[in-house]
Structure 1
Amino acid sequence: MRSAGMRLVRAQWAPLTALAVLTLVSALLAVAVPSRTTAGYDAAAAAAAGPGADIHVKGEAGGSAAFAAVPSDAALNANALAWRDRLPPSLAEVTGEPESSVTSPSQAVDGEFRRPRLLYLGWEPGAWRRIRVVSGGFPFNRTGQTSGDMNAMVAKRYADQLGYKVGDRIGLGGLTVRVSGLYEPVNAADQFWGPRARILHPTIEYMPQTTIEADAGTALIDPAAYSRLTRDPRLKLNYDWRFPLRTGVVSAEQVRAMTRDLDAFRSAVEGRADLFPCEVSTALDNRLKEFAGRLRTAQSVVGLAFGGLVAVAAGLLLLAAGLLGERLRPILGVMRARGASLRQLAAPACGLTALAAVPSALLGYAAGRLLDAGPPQAASLYAIGLLVAAVLGLPAAMVLRERGGGLGSVTERRDDLVAARPSRRRLVLDGLLVVLAVVGVVLLRERGASSGTDPLVASVPALLGAALGVLVLRAYPYLLRAAGPILRRRTGAVAFIGVARASRQSLVGALPLAVLLLAATIAGFTSTVDTALRTGQERASWAETGGDARVDAESLDDAGLRRVRAVPGVTGAVRARVIARASSATDPAPLTVVGVDLDAYRRLAPEVPGIPDTDTGAGALVSPLAARTLGRGAVTLSRAGMDPVTVKASAQIERFPGQERNSAFVIVPYRTVAGATGFPSQVFLTGHDIDAKALRAAVPGDDVVMRRQVLRNMTGLPLVSVVHDTFRDSAVAGGVYGLLAVLLVLVVGARARGRMIAHLRALGLSRRQSRRLALVELAPVLLCAVGAGWVLGLLLPEITGPVVDLRPYTGGFAVTAHVPGLPALLGLLAALLLAAAAAVAVDRAFDTDPGNALRTGE
């Protein structure tokens, strides 16, 4: 029995090897691709949190209430631990040990200086462990001291820049601070100093309630000095318990929980009754919400691609298992005719399939984990289990077909596509498949971008591809039947024989059609969406910059404009005058007046979207917010330094380069504000390879925005990279799977085809004609499947609708023109040529001389 099994394995080594290799590759991809994508999501989550996103618990108190709540170092640290105990699990996992500090309000330094000076007094227990004294000593103050100098330390860099030394006194109104020592940080790169830059060096701040710049710094004090500050009830001290964010441990899975738990933590902080009122302050809220929206979009779109790839892999494995089953059918028929039971038939059919698939699946999973592409995913196990179950289910169904028994199961049935009549059961299954596809599309459009990783939604491309495959299989025999009489009248026999051979294929032989259709669908869908994403980001870069470059200048005269025009690469320039905080006499709401020659600007940068083509005449273009302020009549806008301008809204404009979205601005002709001086200017530039360094040198001190840098920043976002890489890999994987399907069918059926060609060669068929025959046999399946699948892939973004909403990645621009790019079209043509080359190569490799292939009497 064992020797018979080995003989069977040796006889079927080709399909068994093909099934084993395909299972291994599919299992490897099922592990590596989701893990890699998840790792990309996690990296994007860490980047989205970014620097400066620490969680702060802040409070303000003074006098006896402050000292009673925090009388010492121990009390300050005890409160830090109390806040840490209130942190929800998701926040506690991503934050480090709390850092406590108490800081006085900024106080103006007495004296005349080149620039005013502000000084903060900071009690920073964590700072003492991170500094070293370079001059003087620690600031020791007597406990209970209420008068005289207060000893404090300042950074050496602060003292050097502002001219202080040990022993100097700094007057702060009614308080005098004596510099007792100078220090330097042990490690200036320590993240502890990130939000405490004032402790290390002077920073530029504004004087309270003014726009006057001042040099600000923080002097370190000891607990006794802190106690002295609490004796003044009018002095409100700022308490800060900082929980540093460990961005390296933030994952995409935690983002949703962190967003929810931040609100819970705020409620817990505000509900604490044994301490002065405190609140939570962090930059995480907006960052996490923005990232969560982008993540949902990425997961929805990538899920569609992954679902399609799993379906393609399953189809290819079923094809391999089906070809193995076709070669086993005569053996099973003989066994059944000799009295073998269905259980005895299952041993060779299911056993051989399991021998090839199960070890290969396990090996592929192990290889995928060894690649360490990212964290393991449960979806990988589900995908591998689904693929193996589908492969093992096919031989089981094949065994059930033999329950009628005997050789008749082999010899009397004809499963040709043209001759076979679908049973009622198959018609019901086909109809059910179409209904499932329609239901999936309806659910997908209803849930929109919030569908995320819903398995039903992710299976929509596969369901649509399978439903279309059913329809194509229904129409395919009629196309072949219609082609038969036409080709029969032609003088050459190659085309007729090739179509006849294609018509005699069984349903298993038609599986390549379904696999190729699904592969073409995924390749078309991913390449189309990827092109749409790139196009949307290109439009967004034009909308944000307003040209190939933009100069934002505080003041720009005619000489400066000439310097800008003379920069290498600049071919055109249009100036705009920007006057902020203008208002009308009846409504003090501030508006921004932008003076620009719109006709010249349209000619300069026609690629900028959203600029109306209508001639405003004496009217003005207004943003929606400005339209609500101005109303329908004529309104006069003015401000100091600007001549009054009378405007009347003639049309609305959603956005204009250089202006924030949803802001109030008015676009007027440049001549109406040309006389206003002292206001910022914007210069929109176009050109080829503009020298950014020379442009910045032409306007020293002013901001220069380069469109190529804006576009690079958009495309360089971590999530965008994940989406681009996934789409590229999916398109390539779909094409490779399709080619493997073609190659598998060609190789497995090569011997039988070689014998048929030997008969035709004996009748006069030439080698050249046999090559053409190989192409004609492949052409009907290839063209029908790839053509139908490619069209479905192009339509899929429109069918899926809200799920393929790329606005989070394109600055709010909706991309509706879904067309594949030139690389995708070239890739499709290359795939078709490779399939044709494979057919010719296999025909050449298995070309058999008629004298060796035919026996006497044939």
Structure 2
Amino acid sequence: MNTRTVAPAWVRVRLRTAPGAAAALALLVALTACLAAAFPRALDRYEDAGLARAVDQATPKRTVLTVTAPQPGLQLPAEERYQALLPPALGRQFARVAGAVPAPLSVDAAQSSYGVQNTADLSAPDPWLPRPYGIPAQIRLAAQSGLAAHSTVREGRLPRADGEVSAESAEVEAAVTAETARSLHVKVGSVVHVPAVSRPPLAVRVTGIVTPREPNGAYWSAQTLLRTPALVRIPGNPDPLFYWLGALLLPPEAAPALLATNGQPVRYWQIAPDPGALHAYDLDRLTSAVATLEAGPGLGRIRAATDPAAQADTDLDDVLTAYRRLTSGVGPLVAVAAFGGATVALVVLLMAGGLAADRRRAELALLRARGASLRGLTGRLLTETAVVAVPAGAVGLGAALLAVDEGRRLPAVAAAVAVTAVACAALPLRAALAHRTVRVHAPREDTMSVRPSRGRTVAELTLLVIAVGAVIALRRRGVSGASDGSGDQLVSLAPVLIGVIAALVLVRLYPLPLRLLIRPAARLRGAVGHLSLARAGRTSVSAVLPLLALLTALTTAAFGGSVLAGVAGARDHAALIAVGADARVEGTGVLPAALPDRVRRTPGVRAVTEAAVNYQAKAGTGFTQVTLAGVVPADYAALSGRTGLGAFAQDALRRPSGGGSPLPALASPSVARTYGTQPFPVRLDDGSDVTVRIALVRERTPAVIGTSFLVVDRSGLTRQAARTSTLLLTGDRLDAGALRRAAGASVGVELRSAVRARFVDSPLQSGAERIYTAAVAAGTGYAVLALLLALLRSAQERGAMLARLRTMGLTRAQGRRLLVLESLPQAVLAAAGGALTGWATIRLLSPGVDLTTIALPTNVGATGASALRADPLSLAVPAVAVLLLAVAVAAVQAWWTGRKGSVRELRAGDAR
């Protein structure tokens, strides 16, 4: 057969005769290519945003690369020393230092700077400067480039260097920021004298007060002292003695004047990284680039450009390492959802090709019988499919690039190409497999009659070994502790592999219950039950594909739903621990007596528990600091039970009736280990003493946030110590504004809901949740499509069968029951198997999955509620939905067939 001349005509004829099938394939390919291409770009966007947030939160003080070099050597002539400190020389060196920064690390030139400053602070003897504790203020002189571009003059003018400035200059000009002027009482025209070596002090005249244009930018925040003065405590002194430390900003041309002081001046170059140019996929290269600048070839190039003794320092490598830990915990969890959704989409594409091949089985068999070669036939089918799939894949890729305008293009293009290639190859490969032998009638492939081949058994055992290995690897290493690599991809595939094995096992077991039910059904009076079981047993063995899609989708949905529920639960629990109840009202001292009643009347408040919290209590003879809370046992026991934070029986905490008995106390484990069960004294804030005996030990308690506490009956405390300082509120839909109005401005109000909202501190975490939700939703949608394709595959034949039975007296109601009962075995198998597989997957993988990384910020530790647990709704809802959908489709098909009439259906069935 001449494929070159026949194929174009073949394609045109097929597109004209089956436009609906071509349009459905195009829509499926376009949608799948769009989702596949959008996923890596969306992941890149969230990861890049998370990296930028991590760098921004680290502050420029940690992320800026600071290169320092000592002052020029004394052996040089004075003129050369001066020239080495002036902007032309430092500017040239700055350009070479910036050029030494290797890719992918990018320099933010606008926020980078260079200059000269003293490293030893200079004492200013001027009496008008503030002197707390009688200690003179300390001054740092900085001649930094770019002052005019990064500040706005508030008063006076910017400093200038009139004439040539040298170490012999008696006076220089300077500017200060508004914060420095306010704290150090500096005004325009003020003169600050700093000590000089072997000459009178250097006079620094303030000519202007400036306001930073970007106070949080690297120019001002790499050295915060340039912007904000600090109260510094004298180290090594037992008494808290402080002095002011501030900076005077000299013009860069006045830098040689620093050589006259004993402040040990140094040259410096501050290289600020550009956060917008940092990409998470370059994390390894970024870490390597920072390492080479700190102690590698990059540092050698910096020293060649500046000074042999130059040093480079930055904490950007620590920031990148912390972000790597975050991605290593979030990435594999997202990969689980991605692999699950991709597997279901792949199965649907293969099913679409299989459905097309089955519908055209007679046509293709006739072509083979008339002499068409297998190669020519598959070439025709590939051309026919490619004409539809390739443009659809391109449209899907374009839509993804427009919808997600950030991220790399290459992975998106590769994903879309892969989808298009699978869509193009599904029909030709399925046809080649079915028609490799020329035959007129296809052999029967019922699940009740066909026995699995040896090759299938070997393939199933191989997949079983791979799945078991992946589960064992995950349980040993854990998702959150896995590093990137091919092994981790296998770990992320574990839920999918478990779904594959479950599908293959269930298909093998599927005939057994049908055989057991056939005999009891045969004794029933009606023929519908027996006929439905017989029809269910004639399901083609190729039903493994829709079952695989359903099980994979249900397993991924159960795993993903449990992950999302676990994340929400971990945040709720962490917020509850941080607040102690649904809301916490607490002041710096004793609360007003009328406040509990006002708060109790606030909308949404169900209960108010009062507590007297002594944060400075001293326990034992060693006066160890501990937090003691005085409570009403009945109210506090009820609150502990409602919140689940250290529940106890109220009688165990009641004050004994005898006056001299110690108070029973609820203690944290650390306090209990220290004092045991023997009575010991506790001194309270008001100076009174109380003797307590530990009767209960709990990890946490609502009134105290911490791990060192005692809780006692407040009736055993003095009147002053028992006064209420904290209110713990429980209720639904608490109104934060109403609570703050009731509490007053001097009392702090903290809601559990507000604390929970702050726990997502990285776009990577929130983005991972959205991607996970989208992947689970897409997988579920494709699973529904797989179920519809499976039902559509036999819809025409079932319609013809129903029409024949109606000619023999079958009623419409019996027809509906027949189709529903016929579809129930597979639907029940998929629903029950999916729920069971999802539950087993979660139980198997939960020891290796820690949700802390994706659920909580890095500065919040594990709360004990971060382990992965099966979520009943995530297991039940998808399974029930599959069952209901199968029944609904069968009922709709029976109703539609009844409307169309028997003659037309019989003709359609004969044509098949």
Smaller-chain TM-score bracket: 0.7 to 0.9
The aligned residue for residue 850 of structure 1 is: 902
Contact 1:623–1:655 at 8 Å: present in 2 too? no
Higher mean alpha-carbon deviation, 632-641 vs 388-397, is at 632-641
Q: Within the alignment, does 1:366 sit opposite 2:398 as a pair?
A: yes
Contact 1:60–1:277 at 8 Å: present in 2 too? yes
Contact 1:550–1:704 at 8 Å: present in 2 too? yes
Q: Within the alignment, does 1:110 sit opposite 2:110 as a pair?
A: no
Identity %: 25
| Structure 1 residues 262 and 694: alpha-carbon distance in aligned structure 2, compared to 1, 3 A threshold | farther
The aligned residue for residue 91 of structure 1 is: 105
| Structure 1 residues 658 and 306: alpha-carbon distance in aligned structure 2, compared to 1, 3 A threshold | farther
After TM superposition, give the deviation of residue 343 of structure 1 in Å: 2.9
Whole-angstrom distance in 2 between the partners of 1:560 and 1:62: 67
Whole-angstrom distance in 1 between the partners of 2:39 and 2:184: 57
Whole-angstrom distance in 2 between the partners of 1:231 and 1:420: 98
| Structure 1 residues 514 and 566: alpha-carbon distance in aligned structure 2, compared to 1, 3 A threshold | closer
After TM superposition, give the deviation of residue 307 of structure 1 in Å: 0.7
The aligned residue for residue 399 of structure 1 is: 432
Aligned residue among 304, 312, 319 for 2:336: 304
Higher mean alpha-carbon deviation, 288-297 vs 102-111, is at 102-111
The aligned residue for residue 207 of structure 2 is: 181
Q: Within the alignment, does 1:138 sit opposite 2:147 as a pair?
A: no
Contact 2:557–2:780 at 8 Å: present in 1 too? yes
The aligned residue for residue 558 of structure 2 is: 524
After TM superposition, give the deviation of residue 127 of structure 1 in Å: 1.2
Q: Within the alignment, does 1:291 sit opposite 2:305 as a pair?
A: no
Report the RMSD for the aligned CA atoms in angstroms.
4.6
Corresponding letter in the other structure for 1:502: A
Whole-angstrom distance in 1 between the partners of 2:909 and 2:331: 64
Higher mean alpha-carbon deviation, 503-512 vs 101-110, is at 101-110
After TM superposition, give the deviation of residue 474 of structure 1 in Å: 0.7
Corresponding letter in the other structure for 1:138: P
After TM superposition, give the deviation of residue 306 of structure 1 in Å: 0.8
The aligned residue for residue 498 of structure 2 is: 464
Whole-angstrom distance in 1 between the partners of 2:687 and 2:506: 70
After TM superposition, give the deviation of residue 493 of structure 1 in Å: 3.0
After TM superposition, give the deviation of residue 350 of structure 1 in Å: 4.5
* 1:56-455 correspondence to structure 2 within 5 Å: 56-57=65-66, 71-77=85-91, 80-81=94-95, 83-84=97-98, 87-92=101-106, 98-101=112-115, 102=117, 105=121, 107=123, 110-111=127-128, 120-131=140-151, 133=153, 134-135=155-156, 138=159, 140=161, 143-144=165-166, 151-155=173-177, 159=181, 164-170=186-192, 179-185=205-211, 187=213, 191=217, 192-194=219-221, 205-209=231-235, 217-222=246-251, 226-233=255-262, 235-236=263-264, 241-259=269-287, 261-267=289-295, 274=307, 278=311, 280-282=313-315, 284=316, 287-376=319-408, 379-380=411-412, 383-384=415-416, 387=419, 390=422, 392=425, 395-396=428-429, 398-407=431-440, 410-411=441-442, 413-448=443-478, 449=480, 450-452=482-484, 454-455=488-489
Contact 2:851–2:867 at 8 Å: present in 1 too? no
The aligned residue for residue 745 of structure 1 is: 790
2:526 alignment partner, SS class: coil
Aligned residue among 490, 499, 504 for 2:524: 490
Q: TM-score normalized by structure 2?
A: 0.79
| Structure 1 residues 621 and 94: alpha-carbon distance in aligned structure 2, compared to 1, 3 A threshold | farther
Corresponding letter in the other structure for 2:453: S
- How far does the alpha carbon of each residue in 1:678-698 deviate from its partner, in whole angstroms, 9 at most, with x for none? x99765444444444465564
Corresponding letter in the other structure for 2:444: R
2:174 alignment partner, SS class: strand
Contact 2:167–2:259 at 8 Å: present in 1 too? no
Q: Within the alignment, does 1:604 sit opposite 2:627 as a pair?
A: no
Whole-angstrom distance in 2 between the partners of 1:552 and 1:163: 37
Whole-angstrom distance in 1 between the partners of 2:457 and 2:564: 37
Whole-angstrom distance in 1 between the partners of 2:123 and 2:704: 36
Whole-angstrom distance in 2 between the partners of 1:361 and 1:239: 58
Corresponding letter in the other structure for 2:531: I
Structure 2, unmatched stretches of 5+, are 1-5, 654-662
1:57 alignment partner, SS class: strand
| Structure 1 residues 637 and 224: alpha-carbon distance in aligned structure 2, compared to 1, 3 A threshold | farther
Contact 1:576–1:670 at 8 Å: present in 2 too? no
| Structure 1 residues 17 and 419: alpha-carbon distance in aligned structure 2, compared to 1, 3 A threshold | farther
Whole-angstrom distance in 2 between the partners of 1:691 and 1:528: 30
| Structure 1 residues 58 and 675: alpha-carbon distance in aligned structure 2, compared to 1, 3 A threshold | farther
| Structure 1 residues 223 and 115: alpha-carbon distance in aligned structure 2, compared to 1, 3 A threshold | same
| Structure 1 residues 140 and 358: alpha-carbon distance in aligned structure 2, compared to 1, 3 A threshold | closer
Contact 2:683–2:690 at 8 Å: present in 1 too? yes
Structure 1, unmatched stretches of 5+, are none
* 1:366-765 correspondence to structure 2 within 5 Å: 366-376=398-408, 379-380=411-412, 383-384=415-416, 387=419, 390=422, 392=425, 395-396=428-429, 398-407=431-440, 410-411=441-442, 413-448=443-478, 449=480, 450-452=482-484, 454-551=488-585, 553-556=587-590, 559=593, 565=599, 568=602, 571-575=607-611, 577=613, 579=615, 592-595=626-629, 597=631, 601-606=636-641, 611=646, 613=648, 621-622=667-668, 665-667=708-710, 669=712, 684-693=728-737, 698=743, 700=745, 704-715=749-760, 717-765=762-810
Whole-angstrom distance in 2 between the partners of 1:766 and 1:799: 49
After TM superposition, give the deviation of residue 46 of structure 1 in Å: 1.3
1:575 alignment partner, SS class: strand
Whole-angstrom distance in 2 between the partners of 1:585 and 1:332: 95
Contact 2:10–2:380 at 8 Å: present in 1 too? no
| Structure 1 residues 666 and 118: alpha-carbon distance in aligned structure 2, compared to 1, 3 A threshold | farther
After TM superposition, give the deviation of residue 618 of structure 1 in Å: 5.7
| Structure 1 residues 647 and 168: alpha-carbon distance in aligned structure 2, compared to 1, 3 A threshold | same
Whole-angstrom distance in 2 between the partners of 1:193 and 1:402: 75
| Structure 1 residues 525 and 843: alpha-carbon distance in aligned structure 2, compared to 1, 3 A threshold | same
| Structure 1 residues 295 and 256: alpha-carbon distance in aligned structure 2, compared to 1, 3 A threshold | same
Whole-angstrom distance in 2 between the partners of 1:652 and 1:256: 47
Query: How many residues matched?
Result: 847
- How far does the alpha carbon of each residue in 1:683-722 deviate from its partner, in whole angstroms, 9 at most, with x for none? 5444444444465564645654332111011246422322
| Structure 1 residues 355 and 765: alpha-carbon distance in aligned structure 2, compared to 1, 3 A threshold | farther
The aligned residue for residue 659 of structure 2 is: none
After TM superposition, give the deviation of residue 785 of structure 1 in Å: 1.1
Whole-angstrom distance in 2 between the partners of 1:856 and 1:724: 48
Q: Within the alignment, does 1:50 sit opposite 2:83 as a pair?
A: no
Contact 2:156–2:209 at 8 Å: present in 1 too? yes
1:154 alignment partner, SS class: strand
Corresponding letter in the other structure for 1:24: A
Aligned residue among 763, 767, 770 for 2:815: 770
Contact 1:342–1:403 at 8 Å: present in 2 too? yes
The aligned residue for residue 3 of structure 2 is: none
Whole-angstrom distance in 1 between the partners of 2:89 and 2:679: 64
1:815 alignment partner, SS class: coil
After TM superposition, give the deviation of residue 199 of structure 1 in Å: 5.2
Aligned residue among 773, 794, 818 for 2:869: 818
Corresponding letter in the other structure for 1:484: I
After TM superposition, give the deviation of residue 215 of structure 1 in Å: 7.1
Contact 2:617–2:685 at 8 Å: present in 1 too? no
- How far does the alpha carbon of each residue in 1:260-317 deviate from its partner, in whole angstroms, 9 at most, with x for none? 55444433599988466756244x4554434322212221011011111111111111
Whole-angstrom distance in 2 between the partners of 1:606 and 1:857: 66
Whole-angstrom distance in 2 between the partners of 1:598 and 1:88: 65
Contact 1:519–1:735 at 8 Å: present in 2 too? yes
Q: TM-score normalized by structure 1?
A: 0.84
Higher mean alpha-carbon deviation, 246-255 vs 136-145, is at 136-145
Whole-angstrom distance in 2 between the partners of 1:852 and 1:527: 46
After TM superposition, give the deviation of residue 398 of structure 1 in Å: 4.0
